[in-house]
Chains A and B, each alone.
Chain A
Amino acid sequence: MIVGIGVDLVDVARFAATLERRPALRERLFTEVELQGRSVSTGLVSGQAGALCTGHAGDELCGETFADAGREVPVASLAARFAAKEAVAKSLGGPPGLAHREAEVVVGDHGRPMLMVSGRAEEIAGELGVRRWHLSLSHDGGFAVAYVIAEG
């Protein structure tokens, strides 16, 4: 059963300009794993513990960009991650008290983006009965978009 959906669109140039004006936003919005584009074990895939999810295989953000761990993550990818965090909040009904770092975009096998939700976001998701997250990311034409489904 679908508990909630969320979508968010980010202007990549505007996002880049904001990060340039406020560099400390990087640490406020993103985890270290996200900033480094590191991959995670695929043992996390497919809704274990209710906080994990599968992403959308074959996404253009996944392949060479996410596979090259250790390189600086391109700003378009960070913009897509930011969109994913906003989309998670929307899928939960936009409750107050969520922190962006609580919705973490990680990379699984074959560059598949996945969500790991923690803290207040995880609590609310639990209350709503969310057991699995689905995430799809894309960017083109200067915009990044994220689509999230919270499944019960």
Chain B
Amino acid sequence: MAETVAVPSQRNVISRLWNDKESRSVIIQVLTISLVFAFLAYIIHNAVVNLQAIGKGFSYNFLWQPSSYDINQHLIDYDSRSTHFRAMLVGILNTILVAVCGIVLASIVGFVLGVLRLSKNWIVNRLAYCYIEYVRNVPVLLHILLVHGLIVHAFPVPRQAISIGDVTFMTNRGIFSPKPLYEPLFLVVIVLFVLALAFMWWFKRHAQKVQDETGKRYPVFWIGLGTIVGIPLVSFFLLGSPITWDVPALKGFNFTGGMVVRPEFIALLLALSLYTAAFIGEIVRAGILGIYYGQTEASYALGINRGRTLSLVVIPQALRIIVPPLTSQYLNLMKNSSLAVAIGYMDIVATIGGISLNQTGREMECMIIVLTLYLVMSLIISMIMNWYNKRIKLVER
């Protein structure tokens, strides 16, 4: 009798572990991790064996060899004698430049579109609607080619440049504008600007305190604008304009001197941000519509006006709906910037993942770098947005 009871309990050790909620989850996790590592080990081994078979080692030494190619837009010093590593840095900076500018522009245009889409004005509403439906239903690569084509073909050659006050020139090779050369006194203006920022930081808190204590509200925005823009501006002229300008001049077939914003950058920036703005517009609209109308009514019933209802009641709640999909859009914009290669904007893909790769034949090494860089940049954006999302989260219970 005792034997027959003991036997099944021994035989069922595995089945007992499998049917226990806690131990089952441990088993599944162990199995999953083993499988993932086995797969990784297999593909890495496979790659090493194959590389050896064709006589290629795995080495990053090529990064320190001269790149021997030119990059037209470089934010740091670079020429064809610089290393591949430096070419990569130039590429990273170009990607970051277009991604950051693109995210800022797309957010502004997107929020405006979202609000316009909710307008009761029929014309405004329909215009925003048509824009969004056109833009988001055409692939972003076509937008990039279209804007680039428009700039290259619609703008004149440098000899017939469209001149703005004889200092800025719009051509199919870019927009040439004067480059500021700072004199020592300009430092004073910068210091004053920083001081103005510090003052406003203090003043904003002070205004909040005054409102808490007396109920009086200062026009913080206008005072801020006046301080931050006004003080540097006035001091600039009082100090006798301590900036000289390097004005671009036509030499031969192109302009020299000054600053140039290249058509590739303009095309990529406009196409990426206007494309993403259409999606952000829909996200913002969904966010605002997602807030129960009773919230607006309750606010109105308390005598709070439309603007303050939007800024104090609706937007803070809508942000919770808006932020997660907005993060995805920022990531999309950053990754879509790799389409730059289509018009020759020298980003990560075009430099280290393009010309460097072709010249050195180090496809494995280069692709790992490109992949890692995009991953790191994406994770940074995600981290910032998740931190923000957590900060505005709703307390449920």
Q: Do A and B come from one complex?
A: no
- Chain A residues engaging chain B, CB cutoff 8 angstroms: none
